[in-house]
Structure 1
Amino acid sequence: MGVGKAMFLSEGTAESGAKVKFEPVQTNSIRQEYVCDKNEVAAAARRVIEMEEKGKREEAVNNILQTVRPKLDKYKFGDIIGMQQFRASKLDTTDIDDVNILLFGPTGAGKTCLVSMTETMFGLERMSAPQAGGGEGTIHLEPFLEKHTGGFKLLDSRGFFTLDEDFMSELNDILKGQTQALDLIKRKYDDIDSRAVSNTNEEILANRIHGLICVLDYNDPRFGKYKDKMNQYRRLFKKEGYSPVTVVSYKTEEAIPETVRQTKQEEAAFALGAAIDRTFIIRNAVAQSGGMDNNEQAILLQILETALLGAEQFIKIRKLDEKWKKVDEKRQTGGGVAEFIISLQKKYKWEQKDVDDLSKLFEDEDIGTTAALKENWEYLKGKIPKWGIVDIISSELH
């Protein structure tokens, strides 16, 4: 017959090795007694707790797969923090087509493998080609995923051997968009013929790197030294406004003990100046057979979502900086053109339609200050139909 419920009953003082009576209550009147070792009872209790924790983990994993994956699969700029944050601050983001996420780290750490795992997770044809045998693989700034999502791309960079000044300069050029997608990341010891790099000194926000993922190898013998060697990089990321994501990649099929995992996670977070909740450990599924399980897909989705969160916040901060810089420029050049037109309207009794037409013209031509108006006046006055207004503005400007 079925069992209604179970109780643990102890007999007297339970010394080490003492017996504990486990007495299930049957739905019929038959009573059965089982005598088991106290350690067995404790083990059974631990198994129950582990099963409950496993159930919670599986629920969390399923939630990520069901919510985060569809969002990233159809990602558009602003989906993470919300476009209302940009609209509320009146920030123009029409120039941002793709969010650029840079993967960087030591040679052989697993950067390209992380790209391959992402392509596989989204069901894409694998365009990335992870290196084999420990040699150097990627030497160009390779873009991936841009045609799939239409909202972000991963840029796989050349791995570093040493954290010297040359690599700092190389990384800085990539961050600022002076080295762009498909450019050769050329080093002084290279003997390679390739097309010239973009080599532009103009900083355009859309061309910049917006988010960072640093990939480190779990078994890298230099791992513990990165916290000292990467001081200047932490300062650079902080100065530029980046919130890097750190990924520790391992190749073994065996699970990593939790205490070891925590230590490695803390070391990696400190090395990059990343928060612990922006630091992840993931198995390199490309290097092992069997592909990714649900848990590994969930971790990869969290990595991408966290990187995109930092990227959107980076763009917002940069846009705010641009906005306030323009305000400062107006103050330094004697005010804005809108205030100038309004003052002329009051002085010369212009009709509102004439003022609206002027405002639209100057807005279309991106004339925001009286200094810019004066500089471009010879060109602009030919676009104003009323010569009386042209004569007045000419007189007031000079």
Structure 2
Amino acid sequence: MEFAFNEEQQQFVDSIRRFLMTEVTPELTREQWSSASGRSDALWQRLAAQGLTALLVPQACGGLGLSETEWAPLAQECGYFALAEPLLDTALVAAGMLSDCHAATQDAGIRERCESWLRRIAHGGARVAVAHPGQALVADAHVADAILCEHGGALHLVLPAQATLTAHASLDPSRRLFALGWAPDAGSLVLSATAAKPVWEAALNRGALGVAAQMLGLTQRMLDIAIDYSIQRKQFGKAIGANQALKHLLADVAIQHEFAKPVVYRAACTLAQGHGTAGLHVSHALLAATRTALLAARNTMQVHGAMGYTWELDLQIFMKRAWALADSWGDRALHKARVDAHILGAAVPIGAGATFATFATTANLASTL
């Protein structure tokens, strides 16, 4: 059984990696920290030109009509380069929500409205923030052309002029977080509470998947930085990387990273297929990837010693991003509770009798990659 991305998917990822390597550098990240918005309109347009804003948008709305499966490795690359632009919130979560809303309603006006925003997202003409009910603060609301909000379970689309924003500091200077104030009205309503419930649930899954995939990328970047440092830094005439204790620290991260990757890819696959246990797999993925990223932050800091705490080193950029993302789109307690509800709540079969049924499901998922 082969569980791998096909050649076309891998070529797309490789091209995006080369693009981000050139466009999203630590120097740019530091430069954006001191800017008013922390964002770059020019970079957003270049991301759109690469097709990244159109990935999840249906072809009928001017997009590429791809799925969360393709997003997983791309989000991983966004994490590796610590991309600050709200690409995942807009092009993965918000685009997915608007697509779901378009499919869930028969109201011609609402469908036209959703389609209009999807076209704008696909062409790079709009950033859309998401004020999920499980999130206390909204990321990148200050540059958003619209914000998807919840009121009494219903889904509303709010324009910037209808909202007030209060900035909140983040551990990661690249993250711009805001408390949102707004009042619902008939014009902002998109879906009723009953119709919006599955849309909000899918949004949580997409957001958590995006975090999990970014954590994989952040882990790999911190690992690469630490390996490079351990080769260059010398004590007593030899590289510190020759020290067996440091090798063990980095090996522990590398092993956990390899085990976390297929968990994240499986979650993307189940979400793309609308599988009934997608929430379980997404929560498992976030827990596994977050644990790995936090271990990477701790162990790579140990490799750097006191130098790891300095502002000048690039390591701190990726450590702070991992720490900041760890509690976004549901903290670990929430995702542990979701896994617990499935396993201990008997929502999924476990034990020897269910082994081959699980194997068959995994094989079916693998065939889509």
Give the TM-score range, shorter chain. Answer: under 0.3
Give TM-score, length-normalised by structure 2.
0.24
From the CA coordinates, give the structure whose radius of gyration is larger. 1
Question: In proportion to residue count, which structure has more helix?
Answer: 2
